[in-house]
Structure 1
Amino acid sequence: MVEPIRSLDAISAIKTMLGDKPRDLLLFVMATNNGIRCGDLLRLKVGDLRGKRVDDIITIKESKTGKTNILAVNDSVHHALTRYLASGSLNDGAYLFRSKKGENAPLTIQSVNRMVKSWCREAGLDGNYGAHSLRKTFGYVQRVHFGVGFEVLCKRFNHASPSVTMRYLGISDTEVVGILRNSI
């Protein structure tokens, strides 16, 4: 079971660390800003995002659930996308997150797991991190730092119930203790 990246400072440090790796930065930014499974992000092609502007939406079909979901281009995603597309000549039919080993093959989940573990280690984080940490980071930051309700996150993650989302993010005990500190 991997955990989310809980610290906004660690998230910023990883983004800075990836500044000279436009592909990796885009993957990190898209995953932490959208909460989409990495497997679904890895299936995207360059043409799916070329020309997208801030507030544009891309509809995807989740490979795990078969349900339709959306990916949004916010300011952070747009900035990282623009840098990545300017970094080289990328064919619209190529995978957005292509492997350096294969001409037209995407990164694998295993390689993303190694990358995320490396980024977190380099940022000084202790714990178990992997590809799924990026999706969990989205939910954790939305809940803890922006106050988004479990019901909304449940809908975003296509979970069966808010209690599933609470367990998924691993913050339910923290919140229960937190409300007990409120004086009435």
Structure 2
Amino acid sequence: MRVDPIKNKSTVVKIINELEKESERNVILFKIGIYTGLRIKDILKLKVKNINGNTLEIQQSKTKKYKRIQLNDDLRNSLKKYIEGKDKEEYLIKSRKGLNEPLSYTQAYRIIKKAIKKTRLKGNYGTHSLRKTYGYALYENNDLSIVQGALDHDNQVTTLKYIGVTEEEINKATMNINFY
């Protein structure tokens, strides 16, 4: 099933505020998704050792490509506080069941859906919305080729569809073209 990106920045902040009521772990889950564009499968397998100062390093599950992601200030500061005193082999997004088990995909989905539902956001959202939100936010201030590269897409048409750029947005941009 297709899911939507979260396009409104104030809605993203509302979701983070909802997640803060639950746990720091849930906030970190959400922030890693919206700030790195990693797929949920890769987020859930992250361990403390994948965080290296200002970067996050991982071999992606789907593409098998090694990726080194520069962390922005918000995510870097949140992670620094979150991993303080934790063992390098500890999962970042741990299940509350077991000693050192990653959170399940199903539980991650429930966490994200619950927080989004509380904001009364209309549309279809799930864990993959985090990656799409990253792509859309990147698109707002960058050339489409940057977004395409960040998401590892083969072509820009795929990227535009993926991040949910609508005909209305294209028309609005067209109306803003002015040569005088």
Task: Report % sequence identity.
Answer: 30
Q: How do 1:84-163 residues align onto structure 2 when only pairs under 5 Å count? A: 84-86=82-84, 90-144=86-140, 147-163=141-157
Question: Partner of 2:20: helix, strand, or coil?
Answer: coil
Runs of 4+ in 1 over 3 A off after TM superposition: none
* Residues 39, 80 of structure 1: alpha-carbon distance in 2 compared, 3 angstrom cutoff: same
Q: Please give the root-mean-square deviation of Cα atoms over the aligned residues, in Å.
A: 1.7
Aligned-pair CA distance for 1:176: 2.3
* Residues 160, 47 of structure 1: alpha-carbon distance in 2 compared, 3 angstrom cutoff: same
Q: In the alignment, what sits opposite 1:37?
A: 39
- Whether the 8 Å contact between 1:22 and 1:80 is mirrored in structure 2 is no
Structure 2 unaligned spans of 5+: none
State the AA in 2 paired with 1:98. Answer: K
Question: Partner of 1:80: helix, strand, or coil?
Answer: helix
* Normalised TM-score (structure 1): 0.87
Q: In the alignment, what sits opposite 2:55?
A: 57
- Whether the 8 Å contact between 2:50 and 2:57 is mirrored in structure 1 is no
In structure 2, how many angstroms separate the alpha carbons of the residues matched to 1:44 and 1:84? 13
State the AA in 2 paired with 1:33. Answer: Y
- Whether the 8 Å contact between 1:99 and 1:105 is mirrored in structure 2 is yes
Q: In the alignment, what sits opposite 1:70?
A: 68
Q: Deviations over 1:151-182 (max 9, x none)?
A: 11110011101111011011042332123323
Q: In the alignment, what sits opposite 1:48?
A: 50
Q: In the alignment, what sits opposite 2:19?
A: 18
* Residues 180, 71 of structure 1: alpha-carbon distance in 2 compared, 3 angstrom cutoff: closer
Aligned-pair CA distance for 1:45: 0.9
* Normalised TM-score (structure 2): 0.89
Aligned-pair CA distance for 1:31: 1.1
State the AA in 2 paired with 1:163. Answer: V
Range moving further from structure 2, 39-48 or 132-141:
39-48
